Amino acid sequence: MHIRESSWAFVFGLLGNIISFAVFLSPLPTFYIIFKKKSAEGFQSLPYIVSLFSAMLWIYYAFVKRESVLLLITINSFGIVIESVYLVAFLIYAPKKSRISTIKMFLLLDVFGFGAMLLSTHYLSKGAKRLTIIGWISLVFNISVFAAPLLVVKNVIRTKSVEYMPFFLSLTLTVNAVMWFFYGLFLKDYYVALPNTLGFVFGIIQMVVYLIYRNATPVKAKELDMMIGYEQNDAGGGAVSKV
């Protein structure tokens, strides 16, 4: 029975590697535009900084766990390399202000943040306790990453435009979450399985919202400004509308 479960875990983990590989490469069209324009102005570096941190977390988790972690190591090693390439490319073409903010965020999260977590867990905990702490850190962080696109969902509902929430990407991320959920489930690794359960749920929400608004008429900029003005006044308890 254990061999059968391990075999299924390998199958789903391998599929997860293939899909995750495609997901890691999904920003290539963005960087093609950046290279063509010779400028990263208007683009954000935060997704690459966060993805790099996530990949580093899973690599650390895998090395501490040691058992049945090959597929975690392969895909996240690739993730570290490709996200680093994206960041270097962004820094080359970013305006000075964006370059400085990117370096600050990188140092804060990927250098000092990860370094502090690594040193504290390495020296203040041992064995199973260390694995539990790292597992929970990875779990909570990845839940927040999966929840982040809900901000895009809110924007879609507000603007009635699905321009910045492509259906195929949402579908790919949802299927990817399913693969890694079953990988974690068959290995009884709930630090991997649980966040991907929520990833699946959030992915379904994105696709449903896309299907609802795909043929809707986008809200015009002036109307959107008025809506935002009303929301701000309501939040502040005011009764004066924005002019």
DSSP string computed for the chain: -HHHHHHHHHHHHHHHHHHHHHHHHTTHHHHHHHHHHT--TT--SHHHHHHHHHHHHHHHHHHHH-SS-HHHHHHHHHHHHHHHHHHHHHHHHS-HHHHHHHHHHIIIIIIIIHHHHHHHHHHH--HHHHHHHHHHHHHHHHHHHHHTTHHHHHHHHHHT--TTS-HHHHHHHHHHHHHHHHHHHHTT-HHHHHHHHHHHHHHHHHHHHHHHHTTSPPPPHHHHHHHHHHHHHHHHT--PPP-
Asked if residue 65 is part of any domain, the answer here is: yes
**pLDDT the model gives residue 67:** 87
52-77 residue pLDDT tens: 999 999 999 999 998 889 999 999 99
Q: Which domain holds residue 28?
A: 2-235
Tell whether 142 is covered by a domain: yes
- Domains held by the chain: number: 1
- 241 lies in some domain: no
Q: What is the pLDDT of residue 220?
A: 63
Each residue's pLDDT tens digit, 96-135: 999 999 999 999 999 999 999 999 998 888 888 999 999 9
Give just the sign of the alpha carbon dihedral 212, 213, 216, 221: positive
| pLDDT at 180 (0 to 100) | 96
Q: Is residue 141 part of a domain?
A: yes
* Res 169 pLDDT > 50: yes
Q: CA 96, 78, 197: angle at the middle one, nearest 5?
A: 100
Does the pLDDT at position 222 exceed 60?
Answer: no
Contact (Cβ atoms closer than 8 angstroms) between residue 41 and residue 95: yes
Least reliable range by pLDDT among 71-85, 104-118, 146-160: 146-160
What's the pLDDT score for residue 60? 95
The answer to whether position 187 is within a domain reads: yes
Residue 122 domain-assigned (yes or no): yes
On whether residue 243 sits in a domain, the answer given is no
Residue 160 domain-assigned?
Answer: yes
Beta-carbon contacts of 98 under 8 Å, excluding residues fewer than 6 positions away, are 40, 41, 45, 90
Query: Residue 197 — φ and ψ, nearest 5°?
Result: -60, -50
